[in-house]
Amino acid sequence: MAAPLSVITQWLKKTYPRPAVDPEWLEGCYSWIVEELQLDPSRDMKTILENVDTQLLESDFADSMRSGSGIPPNAIGADETMVIKGPILVEVVEIMEVGQSAYSLLQVHESRVEYQKQAQIRTASGDPEEHKPMPKFPRSMLQLRLSDGQHVITAVEHKSLPGIELGETPLGFKVSCRFN
């Protein structure tokens, strides 16, 4: 069997072609997984790969990705719209609804704050009262700031991305972008 790190590196290159995972981060991640979960690479490689994948997708790309291996340098600060060939794994660092008025977004935000206050009161008092769902932000078009760990670019939805929702999707959420 090939050395465990080379197997993991090949799997990562196939699964996430860009950006490249930082070798030092990968070595530390691998060592931690093997020691913490007491795994044997000769029989537990599938479990090791699943755990490396989980750790990578939960990591901050500034720590886990090799600098300069993701978003092409000519896309940074470009004056005009450009198509970037993918796939590139990026993390969402900012989400903004640009198709709705600031006033309507503010109203929903205030409703969500009030909802959270009321939920805390119900929880503290042990009130089993049925509660309404959390108000959702209106959805039209999202503007996203995406990072490969070094560079940040701005992207706008061409079609609605059902997995990304203002107020629900956590920052740091990972997306494999095809950009075309």
Q: What is the pLDDT of residue 1?
A: 44
Q: Can you give the C-alpha Rg of the chain in angstroms?
A: 21
Least confident of 31-35, 79-83, 145-149, 166-170: 79-83
**Degrees to nearest 5, angle at CA 169 with 54 and 178:** 70
Can you tell me the mean pLDDT for 40-55? 95
Is pLDDT above 90 for 97?
yes
Is 95's pLDDT higher than 60?
yes
Q: Quick one: pLDDT at residue 159? A: 86
What is the layout of strands, in order, in the sheet containing 152-156? 152-156, 142-147, 88-97, 174-177
What are the residues facing 97 on neighbouring strands? 142
- Across 6-19, average pLDDT: 94
Would the pLDDT of 72 be above 70?
A: yes
> Is the pLDDT score of 4 beyond 60?
yes
pLDDT over threshold 50, residue 115: yes
pTM summary value? 0.81
